Structure 1
């Protein structure tokens, strides 16, 4: 470091207090906290000492102190003791104080920088409210209320957050685990950045309920120009979402994402395995039953099987009583192989052929496969649309829903973890 300069540390710059209109004039460091004494920088236009009512010059009256929680330094809670001068007009008697709006909101207990740190800690770092409160040295309710208000302002009340949306994803989420009211919410996500490769998915909104009407009402509330700009709606197999999209954004293409399509096949495989297990043994699977022991191996892609898993499946399928499970497993593997094909045109052909094969000629004994075939045939256009539009999977929507905790009645901070 030949050009390095070492001088008296400037705590104002180091703590970014100059951006808040403050200057450090003293400090006290303890093992578990830090206190910085600050003063408010004089206004550049020189208007600080002039009465806002009559325009006459005021005289300094006294000084008050305001406590603000700031960004923790080294995870040591840092408190600012801001000295604020008060003035009294020599003509009308009006009393006012120095402007600290750059440092914090009126009556706020956190600086603007500390508030931003808390919001990013919950949204980006997935910290808990308790952890953020500990870092700031404030009560849980103080941190939670502040983060909620700032999150709504930055993420929810931004008037431009609906701009440029062309691809949306919709899914349901269990918001609370109680019997009172509707425990589900419908989550709407902006997938446009994912499709365009410009960034992650964004949470657009959450509405109470899981129904066609809930999604339809939300779409109807958007401006017509916005609805006309929506090109794709990614969703699961719930027909209510599809119907709502067809009625409110008829020009948008519905895409049923691979996650839910594969889950349909996986559910069919599980149902077949349980049915065969019960028919052969007369009871649900025990830990030593071959079908029960292989339940996870059956859901593993053929290309990822280990030698031990291959031997287990060979032994399982050697039993003629398991032929229906083997047939259903084959359908499941064909679906996985189609989605894993890198050439999207070939992948689409493979999936179309699978849907066609399941729509005709399925033996009556394979009741689960027949049901799967009817579902895929009904939603064939939505399933195949995925291969024509790269980057329109509803997977990011699922990921965001997993980040949203259930409503506990004490805090809404989970709203903002989906950033």
Structure 2
């Protein structure tokens, strides 16, 4: 919070073109303290007028004219013989006001690039970035404890290589593991370099035992390294796998079978004239989102032109998996969950297709975490939304070279809605 200073408005007038409002201000006190020795002085040596830039008054520009006084320091032992009065909002030799710089910093935190904020407020890049750093560092560095934690990774850019002193090459880590509050308004809690289990364990251990004991549920993607790390760092927490990625695995199986069948039957890739290619989007769409006309067309085209029936078989398996995961939304009892799980496994087993066998094995390996999702309904959707904000921040900045600046901008981009606009 900036220091509150008192100034006296001497008069307000319009400029010659009547396009801006000119405000003349001065300090009401007839004295000032020397900034070096602190001795009060009332001896005025000269007067001068400065013109610091300020925020506009609505749609009209605002020109500030500050009539300053230069005082003489009467302390004989003070090496400073004269000083000019100043306030915290307009430090000595400043050409812009503090609130203008803070407004530019908030504009950057809201999603604009530093260059765009500089053009809008007519200030320099170093000045805008310096106040952006002050805004970012003012937020608490240590996150508050949460009950539901989301973990996911994002890539910081293209892979880069560094040459070792021994002549070999080392691949630099370009991934970040993000920790997100899924139970409150904490947003992005922090980031750790890498997408390994060690990165997760080190970040959680750095929070302390009291912080970790509050975490009850952790939502992740089907990543084995994250699951192992959570079992080690948070043995009491319930792990939930995000259902979106499970359905994505089923859609990948549908695409893999469609491409394999096309190559086996036609000896080439799919074309627009092939029924399976023409219906590729419908195969990936949910059954309830298909109109009766679209569903009938897809079904009849594949029945008539795909004699093996493998594409429809994998599509039915995908819908069986979706029906199983829909138990979370329907709050189905355990008997219904068991019945739909048996139906999915039996359909995949009788199909004798490698893609469906792999899908069924994946669901079996992740069944405790999948069941936790069905019973709790916790998803990683907010983490995925945070990932989008992280990527948008990198796009706006046209990439980052400095990791510290990137994390600072990412933290502001993911929490700018909680920044006080009047700060």
TM-score (norm 1): 0.78
2:87 aligned with 1:100, yes or no?
A: yes
In 2, Cα distance between the equivalents of 1:271 and 1:399?
A: 28
Aligned to 1:393: 379
Deviations 1:284-320 (CA, angstroms, capped at 9, x unpaired): 2223222222221112111111244223312333144
Change (3 A) 1:73 1:283: farther
Q: In the TM superposition, what is the alpha-carbon distance from 1:280 to its structure 2 partner? A: 1.6
2:86 aligned with 1:90, yes or no?
A: no
Q: In the TM superposition, what is the alpha-carbon distance from 1:144 to its structure 2 partner? A: 3.9
Question: Which range is displaced more, 376-385 or 66-75?
Answer: 66-75
2:155 aligned with 1:169, yes or no?
A: no
Question: Any conservation in 2 of the 1:237–1:260 contact (CA below 8 Å)?
Answer: yes
Q: In the TM superposition, what is the alpha-carbon distance from 1:65 to its structure 2 partner? A: 6.4
Q: In the TM superposition, what is the alpha-carbon distance from 1:202 to its structure 2 partner? A: 0.5
Deviations 1:205-255 (CA, angstroms, capped at 9, x unpaired): 122211111111111111111011111111111111111111111111111
Question: Any conservation in 1 of the 2:321–2:344 contact (CA below 8 Å)?
Answer: no
2:256 aligned with 1:271, yes or no?
A: yes
Question: Which range is displaced more, 76-85 or 205-214?
Answer: 76-85
Aligned to 2:227: 242
2:401 aligned with 1:409, yes or no?
A: yes
2:195 aligned with 1:183, yes or no?
A: no
Aligned to 1:7: none
In 2, Cα distance between the equivalents of 1:66 and 1:224?
A: 55
Query: For 1:286, what is the secondary structure of its paired residue?
Result: coil
Question: Which range is displaced more, 330-339 or 348-357?
Answer: 348-357
Which of 367, 372, 378 is the equivalent residue of 1:380? 367
2:310 aligned with 1:310, yes or no?
A: no
Q: In the TM superposition, what is the alpha-carbon distance from 1:80 to its structure 2 partner? A: 4.9
Q: How does 1:55-74 map to 2 (within 5 A)?
A: 55-62=39-46, 70-74=54-58
In 2, Cα distance between the equivalents of 1:68 and 1:409?
A: 33
Aligned to 2:414: 418
2:267 aligned with 1:257, yes or no?
A: no
Change (3 A) 1:96 1:275: farther
* Count of equivalent residues: 388
Change (3 A) 1:18 1:237: closer
Aligned to 1:13: none
Question: Which range is displaced more, 212-221 or 334-343?
Answer: 334-343
Question: Which range is displaced more, 33-42 or 244-253?
Answer: 33-42
Question: Any conservation in 2 of the 1:75–1:135 contact (CA below 8 Å)?
Answer: no
In 2, Cα distance between the equivalents of 1:220 and 1:85?
A: 56
Question: Which range is displaced more, 141-150 or 268-277?
Answer: 141-150
Deviations 1:359-391 (CA, angstroms, capped at 9, x unpaired): 45613632111111111111111112123334x
Q: In the TM superposition, what is the alpha-carbon distance from 1:275 to its structure 2 partner? A: 1.6
Over aligned residues, Cα RMSD in angstroms? 3.6
TM-score (norm 2): 0.78
Which of 183, 187, 201 is the equivalent residue of 1:192? 183
2:350 aligned with 1:366, yes or no?
A: no
Q: In the TM superposition, what is the alpha-carbon distance from 1:186 to its structure 2 partner? A: 1.0
Which of 117, 130, 154 is the equivalent residue of 2:103? 117
Change (3 A) 1:29 1:283: farther
Q: In the TM superposition, what is the alpha-carbon distance from 1:138 to its structure 2 partner? A: 2.1
Query: For 2:189, what is the secondary structure of its paired residue?
Result: strand
2:315 aligned with 1:332, yes or no?
A: no
Query: For 2:318, what is the secondary structure of its paired residue?
Result: helix
Question: Any conservation in 2 of the 1:115–1:150 contact (CA below 8 Å)?
Answer: no
Q: In the TM superposition, what is the alpha-carbon distance from 1:27 to its structure 2 partner? A: 6.1
Query: For 2:363, what is the secondary structure of its paired residue?
Result: helix
In 2, Cα distance between the equivalents of 1:296 and 1:107?
A: 63
Unaligned runs of 5+ in 2: 162-171, 416-423
Question: Any conservation in 2 of the 1:177–1:183 contact (CA below 8 Å)?
Answer: yes
2:204 aligned with 1:219, yes or no?
A: yes
Question: Any conservation in 2 of the 1:69–1:136 contact (CA below 8 Å)?
Answer: no
Deviations 1:234-281 (CA, angstroms, capped at 9, x unpaired): 111111111111111111111112222221222222222222222222
Q: In the TM superposition, what is the alpha-carbon distance from 1:348 to its structure 2 partner? A: 6.5
In 1, Cα distance between the equivalents of 2:390 and 2:52?
A: 30
Q: In the TM superposition, what is the alpha-carbon distance from 1:83 to its structure 2 partner? A: 5.0
Unaligned runs of 5+ in 1: 1-16, 194-198
Question: Any conservation in 1 of the 2:48–2:69 contact (CA below 8 Å)?
Answer: yes
